[in-house]
Amino acid sequence: MSPREDGKITCLVPVYECADRLADHLGTVRALEEICDEIFWVVTPGEDNSVRMVQNVLRARGGKYLEVPRGLYEAWNSGISRVTTEFIYISTVGDAVAPRGLVSLRACLQETGADVCFSPPCLPEEKKARRQLRDWPVFRFRKELGAWEGKILPPWMVAKLQALSGIHSLLGSCASCLFRTSFLQSHPFPAGYFHYGDSAWVYQNQAVARLVFLRQPVAKFSVHGPSGRTVEPRGVERLRWMVIRRLALQTRGKAAAQALRRMSACIRYLDAHRGRRPARFWWLRPKLLAVRLQKVLQKGLFAARIRQLIPAGKP
């Protein structure tokens, strides 16, 4: 058996100035030792006590340690490039997965040969956080994803759902994902996309990544408050153009490409004219209402046209 087909999992734990949350997260990491072959700490030195806390854990329980410069996805990629097990799980401080949930994700990858298995996070009890997660694509498109549960999603379906999700990743949180190491090493997370590199990863790999969905939640995601970071409309459009260009290369995809291009232009126009702090009922202004209705029309056309590219006879 190849080392790449051993069923083993490495738990990658990125750490940067999170001492206030790291103590609680250590319990999650200890639980994952039951199923993970290796715990790999990828640490960026900072102003707090995080580095010392990790070093104490290493002395007591063992594991691997890598010190890296600042950069969220760059740090992830540095650790991922050194993993030797078949699968890799990214355990962000504050998030938690049940060991049996990780077993379910692995079983699905082994059965299907997929590159990523993802599921929705557990919904929190707090109403505001619950509403925030409900807007995620993994919940918004749960019915469509559920029809393909346990099967590799058609690439055009992935492209459609991610394009309709804008800046939000179809995969949801990495807390609910298990990756095949070899694929992640050959398709690392892109840098230069600020805090939405995981979304950009889906856009970049829409045509080649074999994704499989499980509807049963296996992990808890720590819902953060507003970060204060904004995404320029052009940034989202830049991502959607990855789908538009791919569609335009196919005769049958040109109509879908045109609809997505028009939908994206409408969104850019609306974002530019509503401002950072939109006035109440801003969208009722005649011109903006007309553009908003056009956006809805083009969105429906895009979804209908791209459905024609998905193989018939499937769920």
SS (H, E, C) 132-169: HHHCCHHHHCHHHHHCCCCCECCHHHHHHHHHHHCCCC
Q: What pLDDT shows up at residue 42?
A: 97
User: Regarding beta strands 9-15 and 87-90, do their DSSP bridges make them parallel or antiparallel, or are they unpaired?
Assistant: parallel
Distance in angstroms (rounded) separating the CA atoms of residues 71 and 147: 37
Whether 139 has a pLDDT exceeding 60, the answer reads: yes
Q: What pLDDT shows up at residue 25?
A: 94
Whether 296 has a pLDDT exceeding 90, the answer reads: yes
Ranges assigned E (strand) in the chain: 9-15, 38-43, 64-67, 87-90, 96-97, 116-118, 177-180, 211-213, 219-220
131: confidence class by pLDDT, cuts 50, 70, 90: confident
Specify the length of the chain in residues. 315
Q: What pLDDT shows up at residue 312?
A: 66
Q: What pLDDT shows up at residue 61?
A: 92
pLDDT tens digits for 91-101? 999 899 999 99
Distance in angstroms (rounded) separating the CA atoms of residues 22 and 27: 9
Mean pLDDT of 169-179: 95
Whether 233 has a pLDDT exceeding 70, the answer reads: no
Q: What pLDDT shows up at residue 230?
A: 56
Q: What pLDDT shows up at residue 227?
A: 47
Whether 228 has a pLDDT exceeding 60, the answer reads: no
Q: Token pair of 67, please? A: 């010190």
Q: Token pair of 197, please? A: 């590199």
What are the strands of the beta sheet with 64-67, ordered from one edge? 64-67, 38-43, 9-15, 87-90, 177-180, 116-118, 211-213
Range of lowest pLDDT (6-10, 32-36, 281-285): 281-285
Output the CA torsion sign for 97, 90, 119, 136.
positive
Distance in angstroms (rounded) separating the CA atoms of residues 6 and 122: 29
Q: Kindly report the average pLDDT of the chain as a whole number.
A: 90
Whether 20 has a pLDDT exceeding 60, the answer reads: yes
60: confidence class by pLDDT, cuts 50, 70, 90: very high
Q: What pLDDT shows up at residue 4?
A: 64
Kindly state the percentage of the chain with pLDDT values over 70.
93
Q: What pLDDT shows up at residue 33?
A: 93
Cα→Cα distances 245→43, 162, 187, Å:
38, 15, 19
Mean pLDDT of 166-186: 95
pLDDT tens digits for 299-308? 999 999 999 9
Whether 276 has a pLDDT exceeding 80, the answer reads: no
1: confidence class by pLDDT, cuts 50, 70, 90: very low
